Amino acid sequence: MKVARPVRLGVAITLGLVLAAVLGAQSAGIALTKKAPDTAIAAFPLNGLAYENIASAVFLATTEATGSPEEGAKAARPWALEAYRLEPLVPKAHAILALAEDDPEKRRQILDAALALNRREPRLQAVVLQQQVADADYPAAIASLDRILRVKPSQYNELFPVLINVFAQEGATDEFAKILDGSSEWHGRFFRFAASQPSALRNMAELRRKMSFDDEVTDRALLRSLVREGDVATAYSLYQQIAGADATDAVGAWSSDYPPFDWSLTDDAGLRAQPSLSGKGLEISVKPGKGGVVARRLIRAPATPFAIAVDHTIERQQALQDIDITVRCAGQSDEILNANLVRQNDGYRIDSLPDECNFIEIGLEARAWSGRSAVNEEIEAIRVVRR
């Protein structure tokens, strides 16, 4: 007994030292898990959280490089598997494993098991969102995105491209109108994002007819995008709704609230156009060596024949030569009219327009040649005159 007791004591001390070393290494691993996962694994190879963080870093880096979350997940899959083996409750690893799975049924099983453990992990919710999009379960997808972005609003850059696939579907606007009521910050951000996406423009126009975005920036972006994609008629009907009583084809009104159906005015260094203080004229300022379009807008094409008249009191001959009026059909590069103010007489007559020319763009161009005086003039009005 006298011999056995020291042996047991020695074993206990040794085990205590080993356990202390293991716990110390684990504590160090936990402390380093987020900041330095590689070091954490070296300190404590059984640290599943560190493997999860490496998997997450590989996923994000690969996704950014390839533009494909699926490729990112497949690259990170070995690390995620090791994280799952060591720490079965790691939610990010579940998300990566689900996203890396090509078989829809297996992916759904992984997601169901993961959601039973954790319903708040944003990346896991993002995979759920993608699955709902793939299943065409649009109401559930929108609700999932709403939950994610209310908790993690910073993830909108990652998730909006996924949501666009839902939003662009026929009949999706009713579901979006129910949720996107401005009660969360991400709603306005999504409107601005969608207003620049060609696939979303048809539904954005439909949604705007049903509700206000309460954001002039989004309205302007939507009008510009529709015109850029060639859907000028839809853009014009929205312009009439948005601008209300101020919507007009009177080109002499110098409003620039909603271009391109109001005036788009250039404001660059050395090349500028702005309404006069009275609002009844357009001031044009061009420094020597500068030139280009200073103002343009779209209007419905008048019945032909018609004339474009420019009202002004400019007397300097050089300035008259250096300011041009242009007319072209919307979306076309060929000009129907390009003439300086010297040649105006009683207006620039246009006898006919090409077929299907339903909207025309009227522009003002100005230049100031190097070595000559700057152009500082005022245009009082531009008028469409019936002939």
Q: What is the mean pLDDT of each run of 10 residues along the chain (387 residues)?
A: 45 36 37 42 54 77 74 80 74 74 75 62 65 74 78 79 84 84 85 94 95 94 96 96 85 88 95 90 96 96 94 92 96 93 88 94 95 93 89
Bridge partners of residue 367, in order along the sequence: 291
pLDDT, tens only, 103-134: 777 777 776 766 665 555 666 666 667 777 77
| b/e burial code for range 282-301 (CB count within 10 A of at least 16 → b) | bbbbbbeebbebbbbbbbeb
pLDDT of residue 328: 96
Q: What's residue 115's pLDDT?
A: 62
C-alpha–C-alpha distance, residues 173 and 74, integer Å: 34
**Is residue 111 within 8 Å of 127, Cβ to Cβ?**
yes
**269 with 315: CB under 8 angstroms?**
no
- Coil, helix or strand at residue 44: coil
Inter-residue contact 150 to 117 (CB < 8 Å): no
